[in-house]
Amino acid sequence: MIKIYGLAISSCTRRVALVLQEKGVPYDLIQVPPNNFKSEEHRKRQPFSQIPVLDDEGYQLYESRAIARYIAAKYHDQGTVGLYPSPGDYRAIGLFERACSLEYSQFYPIVERLMKEDIIIKLRGGSSDGNVIQVLKSRLEEKLDVYNVILSEQKYLAGSSITLADLFHVPELDVINKHYGHIISSRAHVNRWWKDLSARESWKAVSQ
């Protein structure tokens, strides 16, 4: 059975778990507390002292998006959706890779900084910078304005079918929805997309 070393509440761990759920692949989630990230044992699995790490019968892989791609490739014919274009469909692959790049370069960096500044700092007893938070929220809204246009023309980010590119967004979209819901709800097509993604049984299983 596949093992995932991570934390159930971690967005990156959830990204991997979501894809495993979509593919109907059983896995064992082994909790790694933050105070163990830098342990010698864990650093052998993940030299940057981060989570998650996949262990598939001795084959180890880290970085959540790389793990998700591995799962989607290995179990391509399993589950209800492919999540990745057919190998010979170069145009679909191009659109898919573009959508994945949007998540990684346009969306995630802003959300990650916003989460750290407005949520994580407070959980650790620190003080947030309100000006920084407002700038980040404005930048996020600008990005999602563009998403709203893209999603007004197609159901998902890479076209008519759901792919990894959409699923990569889900853990962070969940945080946005919980803390800044209006940013999603005020954009009709982004809101429709989020409702679609969050209603999937795979996400319900991961987020419970």
| Burial (CB count <10 Å: 0-12, 13-18, 19+), residue 159 | middle
Sheet with 53-56: strands ordered across = 27-31, 2-6, 53-56, 59-62
* 2-74 is classed CATH 3.90.550.10: no
Residue 129, pLDDT score: 85
pLDDT in tens, the chain (208 residues): 999 999 999 999 999 999 999 999 999 999 999 999 999 999 999 999 999 999 999 999 999 999 999 999 999 989 878 899 988 999 999 999 999 999 999 999 999 999 999 888 777 777 778 899 999 999 999 999 999 999 999 999 999 999 999 999 999 999 999 999 999 999 999 999 999 999 999 999 999 8
Q: What is the DSSP letter of 84?
A: S
Residue 13, pLDDT score: 98
CATH topology agreement for domains 2-74 and 90-207: no
Residue-range domain boundaries for the chain: 2-74, 90-207
Residues 33-52: tens digit of each pLDDT = 999 999 999 999 999 999 99
CA separation, residue 125 to residues 117, 122, 147 (Å): 12, 5, 34
Residue 57, pLDDT score: 97
Structure token digits, residue 97 = 């890779």
CATH of domain 90-207: 1.20.1050.10
| Burial (CB count <10 Å: 0-12, 13-18, 19+), residue 183 | middle
How many C-beta neighbours within 10 Å does residue 83 have?
Answer: 24
How many C-beta neighbours within 10 Å does residue 12 have?
Answer: 20
